[in-house]
Amino acid sequence: MRQFWNKLELDLLKSNYSTHGKSELIELFPNRTYQAIQRMASYLGMKRVRDDFEPTPEARAKMSKSHLGIKLSEAHRAALRRHTLNEKAFDILTEHAIYWIGFLMADGNVSYKKGIPIIALHLNVADLPHLLKFREFVGSSHAVGNYINKLSGNTSCTISFSSERLSNVLGKYGFVPRKCFTAQVKGGVEYSKHLWRGLIDGDGSLGVYERKCLKGTVRRVPYINITGSSNVCSQFKTFLEKEIGEPMPPRFFFYRNSYAYMLSDRRAVKAVKLLYRGCTIALNRKLRKALDMIDEYED
């Protein structure tokens, strides 16, 4: 029959658990099993603190290197992985690598759990094929998860994995934790059109909207828009001025807890041509809009 712990037992556990060994605790609590003692100590948030503890040679042989405080090599960590992952995917800055850096800056995030960096990418379920392209690029065999937003009801797909090496490499280009308001592209990729195409695909928009004129007619106006931190908007403006060779609109505005920078008319068409014409990687639905815009406003 299960016996409740009385106050005397609890006080005895609190004063002795952290400094006594297994056999000593069993002697102190003859009516309790060692498992019951451990469960109650865990419930109370108690841990062992034994400065004089020294594992026997037999115990030490069974302990992993991480338990002994030895940092594991990359080869050792790779051997322990249950899923495949190419941790060298971003070592060479190809078009695809730079594009995915931009896309992660927009729609990805990196967080830490017990000191371990977790890289994640979340997309609308309609963009699942694009998520699978990223999964293939990083050589991952991790499962793709799905979840439903309780507020909006939208279904999203996600992939996440831990990698200290990838986190360090991506951090050099500005992909860091809590980047929403402070994000800034670094490492030279801010001068690449592939980076900005990734950012537009992840957290921007483009297309044509209809504007009513005073005479009652309707004019189709092309536009392109990027959303992000004030740093990112400013960097995008600087990039376009350098590549297109003419001044861009000076202002970006506060939009949905972040900032947005928008171009319209001929500047928008020039920017779309620069970013999407001849590319080998892009979000399909935005690539179709870009190519339709180029065809419509070619002249």
Q: Lowest-confidence range among 124-133, 242-251, 275-284?
A: 242-251
Please report the pLDDT score of residue 1 as a whole number. Answer: 47
* Domain 199-296 grouped into CATH 3.40.50.970: no
Residues 6 or more apart from 100 whose CB is under 8 A from it? 90, 134, 137, 138, 198
Domain 85-182 class? alpha beta
- pLDDT tens for 70-109 read 566 666 666 666 788 999 999 999 999 999 999 999 999 9
Please report the pLDDT score of residue 225 as a whole number. Answer: 94
Which own/partner pairs from 184-189 qualify as long-range (CB within 8 Å, at least 24 positions apart)? 184/229, 184/231, 184/232, 184/235, 185/102, 185/105, 185/231, 185/232, 185/235, 189/93, 189/98, 189/101, 189/102
Checking if the pLDDT of 55 tops 70, the result is no
The C-alpha atoms of residue 189 and residue 263 are separated, in whole angstroms, by 22
The C-alpha atoms of residue 272 and residue 260 are separated, in whole angstroms, by 17
Checking if the pLDDT of 279 tops 90, the result is yes
Checking if the pLDDT of 248 tops 80, the result is yes
Greater confidence, 295 or 60?
295
Please report the pLDDT score of residue 254 as a whole number. Answer: 82
The secondary element (H helix, E strand) that includes residue 61 is helix 57-62
Please report the pLDDT score of residue 71 as a whole number. Answer: 61
Share of the chain above pLDDT 70, in %: 88
Q: Lowest-confidence range among 18-22, 53-57, 90-94, 135-139?
A: 53-57
Mark residue 178 as left, alpha or beta (left: phi above 0; alpha: psi -120 to 50; beta: remaining).
left
Q: Which two tokens stand for residue 137?
A: 């690029």
Answer for the pair 221, 210: CB distance below 8 angstroms, yes or no: yes
Please report the pLDDT score of residue 155 as a whole number. Answer: 87
Closest among 209, 222, 224 to 260, alpha carbons compared: 224
Q: Lowest-confidence range among 5-14, 52-61, 146-155, 191-200?
A: 52-61
- pLDDT tens for 193-234 read 999 999 999 999 999 998 888 888 888 999 999 999 999 999
- pLDDT tens for 183-193 read 999 999 999 99
Please report the pLDDT score of residue 221 as a whole number. Answer: 93
Q: Lowest-confidence range among 108-112, 242-246, 253-257?
A: 253-257
Residue 126 is given by DSSP the state: G
Checking if the pLDDT of 282 tops 70, the result is yes
